[in-house]
Structure 1
Amino acid sequence: MSLQFIGLKEINGPLVVLDNVPNASFEEMAELYLEDGTKRLGRIVEIQGERVIIQVFEGTNGLSLTNTRTRLTGKPMELALSKEMLGRIFNGAGTPIDGLGEIFADKYADINGQPLNPVAREYPRNYIRTGISSIDGLTTLIRGQKLPIFSGSGMSHNKLAVQLVCQSQLNDNKDSDEKFGIVFAAMGVNNDVADYFKRSFEESGVLENVVMFLNLSNDPIIERILAPRCALTAAEYLAYEHDMNILVIMTDMTSYAEALREFSSSKGEIPGRKGYPGYLYSDLASLYERAGIVKGGKGSVTQIPILTMPNDDITHPVPDLTGYITEGQIVLDRNLNQIGIYPPVAILPSLSRLMKDGIGEGYTRGDHSAVANQLFASYARVQDARALASVIGEEELSKSDKAYLEFGKMFEKHFISQEFNEARTIEQTLELGWDLLSLLPKSELSRMDAKLVEANFDPKRTERFKD
């Protein structure tokens, strides 16, 4: 039997309060009917005995304290799921907004997901090729991993997100029967950015393999909180029931956290660091931990959350807590961005903690680990040489330090920097790495096996870097 409650006790911003509601459940969905017969959706966000607080998705403008009728549905928010979702565009609450009609659902699933038994998880192996050398070569993305991108306001993270969607694939083997798809969630973006995403995916021809969730900056904040949960629910369905390897890209997680802060403030909760709720860590974990591979299954869910760091502060609560939960990070550098290098990936603070187990013989190439270690070590020496040159002048540097300066210049120009539509194979990336390492004296390649150096080191490789 469905009970309806007439009237509201209180209206406070996006929240309404009902009294004398027995047997309500946390996050239960509610339908609110206005005097003119229109319906709005809400969900229970707090329960105090028989008093419930409901957050209204479309806002509370026009609601009446006396005549609003509320019906509790008895179930949490569910998303209609079908393989038809591929190629479709939804709003943050999972409603189609592409004009192609409703989804004919195979099933409905709770957007909060089902807890994944840690024992049922399989250790991530194999890599996902993004076609970007600085990622594939030095911070390799592994299937089932969560690898965030830390960016800053005004930097090219949206462009990078589009490139990742357009270029990412499982490997260089075109004969593989493994299925790949992308779930893309944008939160709090402006209309022009949303149009840029849609237009880019359509023009590149990848939209048919993408499920898009778009939450605009003028949409209700509740949709911003729901968008990543809807996206991950769709990803889990495609991965675990249709054996697809799904890459989930979510931008911008800072907008999500700010919506959570606003929501927490409206409930009168005690704020934590910088006004964010004290449960921000566990809330972010409830999203990030929905990545992984289930034993015995063919599908996987891999996450690339993108977040902007206010004032480029990596110790800000959102990147700080994200770093605790995820398995590494890709950091974008403002200095590289300002001198026109794209993508402006800062090599030294970036890392992929699962990289070591998903590269090498049988995955990428046998020398991948050695090349990555040597490139990283050599680029670290470049920073020392540059610091020394700023003090004593470049002319006073030793021969090896001058070689490192030249290596650093070419490394940034040719390895880190690449065209937006340039998708490099892992072979091209590693060969380019060897070309760059050949700029250095052979004696400097101390992170590699002598036989490997002997087989691949050749000063003639450096001809391509001469003007």
Structure 2
Amino acid sequence: MVVANGNVDMEEGTLEIGIEYRTVSGVAGPLVILDKVKGPKYQEIVNIRLGDGTTRRGQVLEVDGEKAVVQVFEGTSGIDNKYTTVQFTGEVLKTPVSLDMLGRIFNGSGKPIDNGPPILPEAYLDISGSSINPSERTYPEEMIQTGISTIDVMNSIARGQKIPLFSAAGLPHNEIAAQICRQAGLVKRKEKTDNILENAEEDNFAIVFAAMGVNMETAQFFKRDFEENGSMERVTLFLNLANDPTIERIITPRIALTTAEYLAYECGKHVLVILTDMSSYADALREGLCCSRGSAWKAWLSWLYVY
């Protein structure tokens, strides 16, 4: 069943019609399967309205003719094929960004959870990121100091570089991540040292911290640590909890990186991004693939090891 809701834009003189589909044919884990959909697009955002009036967001994962597989970010509990309606927006997933996001705490979907005022977005950016020309990249010559000697001396982080920190259960990886966030700073080369420039660059340093699949205790630890040591004012914190929908963990690092790109390219800041724990992100990807492609996709994807 298809329901058409139309409204007329009098200024533009065009008719905008939003088509709502009631053609849910199946639910598998975090996925919803739709039939008789006209012109679905890959990665298109859909609005899902349940029978009780609540609204959820999803993203088109696969398209096969008039069939579409939609990945629901908030989970599929309560979705049925009788009262649930799905509306395709024609847009990809975008996140609001602003310089005011520094010092704020958000959930895994980018919504404020610190009881502060709403963010007034300066732009809406595609979370898939902007294209980068490697040949135009500035050669990295300066480093970011973490304050941990084994990293700074033996595996220094140059600006524009990424490094993985491998850990295991029982090791203090959360404490190390918080310590890096607390101590991180810019290091100037000796021939470029200038007190005025150093102070200006220190003011332009920001951190985007994203925690995925953490429990409430760990989330409280990060918030308390950043607030007590005074580093919160330069940090944008994203928290995806263990009891949040698993699929939300797929978009959490993308939103964090999009925010970091905005702070770096549009606001002129030097940004350090810390993502923990990538294993939770990999598990979320594996769960979605197993539901849509079968048990042959139970292993982690190979490209995760070069992330």
1:180 corresponds to = 205
Residue 122 and residue 270 in structure 1: after superposition, are their counterparts in 2 closer, same or farther (change >3 A)?
farther
1:206 corresponds to = 231
List alignment gaps of at least 5 residues for structure 2.
1-16
Give yes or no for the alignment of 1:133 onto 2:149: yes
Larger Rg: 1
1:6 corresponds to = 22
Cα deviations by residue, 1:399-420 (Å, 9 ceiling, x for unpaired): xxxxxxxxxxxxxxxxxxxxxx
1:224 corresponds to = 249
Q: 2:131 aligns with which of 115, 121, 126?
A: 115
Q: 2:53 aligns with which of 18, 32, 37?
A: 37
2:268 corresponds to = 243
Cα deviations by residue, 1:162-190 (Å, 9 ceiling, x for unpaired): 11001101027664222100000101111
TM-score (norm 1): 0.58
SS in 2 for 1:62: coil
1:78 corresponds to = 94
Give yes or no for the alignment of 1:93 onto 2:116: no
How many aligned residue pairs are there? 282
1:371 corresponds to = none
Shift of 1:58: 1.6
Shift of 1:36: 2.1
1:169 corresponds to = 185
Give every structure 1 segment of 4 or more consecutive aligned residues whose post-TM-superposition deviation is greater than 6 Å: none
User: Which amino acid in the other structure matches residue 218 of structure 2?
Assistant: V
Shift of 1:50: 1.1
Q: Give runs of aligned pairs for residues 47-446 of structure 1, distance below 5 A.
A: 47-171=63-187, 175=196, 176=198, 177-178=200-201, 179-269=204-294, 271=296, 275-276=298-299, 280-282=301-303, 284=304, 321-322=305-306
Q: Which has the higher helix share?
A: 1
Residue 237 and residue 269 in structure 1: after superposition, are their counterparts in 2 closer, same or farther (change >3 A)?
farther
Shift of 1:269: 4.1
Equivalent residues of 1:14, 1:56 under 8 A apart: yes
Shift of 1:7: 4.0
Whole-Å separation in 2 of the counterparts to 1:11 and 1:135: 46
Cα deviations by residue, 1:119-157 (Å, 9 ceiling, x for unpaired): 221221101111222222222111110111111111011
User: Which amino acid in the other structure matches residue 162 of structure 2?
Assistant: K
Q: 1:16 aligns with which of 13, 32, 40?
A: 32
2:44 corresponds to = 28
User: Which amino acid in the other structure matches residue 249 of structure 1?
Assistant: I
Residue 269 and residue 125 in structure 1: after superposition, are their counterparts in 2 closer, same or farther (change >3 A)?
farther
Shift of 1:276: 2.1
Report % sequence identity.
Answer: 46
Shift of 1:270: 5.7
SS in 2 for 1:162: helix
1:439 corresponds to = none
Whole-Å separation in 1 of the counterparts to 2:24 and 2:147: 55
Shift of 1:9: 1.5
SS in 1 for 2:24: coil
SS in 1 for 2:139: coil
Whole-Å separation in 1 of the counterparts to 2:284 and 2:52: 30
User: Which amino acid in the other structure matches residue 19 of structure 1?
Assistant: D
Cα deviations by residue, 1:81-135 (Å, 9 ceiling, x for unpaired): 0001101111111111111142111000110102211222122110111122222
Whole-Å separation in 2 of the counterparts to 1:4 and 1:225: 26
Q: CA RMSD in A?
A: 1.5
Greater Cα offset, 167-176 or 18-27: 167-176
Cα deviations by residue, 1:193-217 (Å, 9 ceiling, x for unpaired): 1100000000011111001111111
Cα deviations by residue, 1:353-406 (Å, 9 ceiling, x for unpaired): xxxxxxxxxxxxxxxxxxxxxxxxxxxxxxxxxxxxxxxxxxxxxxxxxxxxxx
Shift of 1:6: 2.1
Q: Which has the higher strand share?
A: 2
SS in 2 for 1:36: coil
Equivalent residues of 1:79, 1:230 under 8 A apart: yes
Whole-Å separation in 1 of the counterparts to 2:117 and 2:80: 32
List alignment gaps of at least 5 residues for structure 1.
285-320, 326-467
User: Which amino acid in the other structure matches residue 276 of structure 1?
Assistant: A
TM-score (norm 2): 0.88
Equivalent residues of 2:31, 2:288 under 8 A apart: no
User: Which amino acid in the other structure matches residue 183 of structure 1?
Assistant: V
Equivalent residues of 1:257, 1:276 under 8 A apart: no
User: Which amino acid in the other structure matches residue 165 of structure 1?
Assistant: C
1:291 corresponds to = none
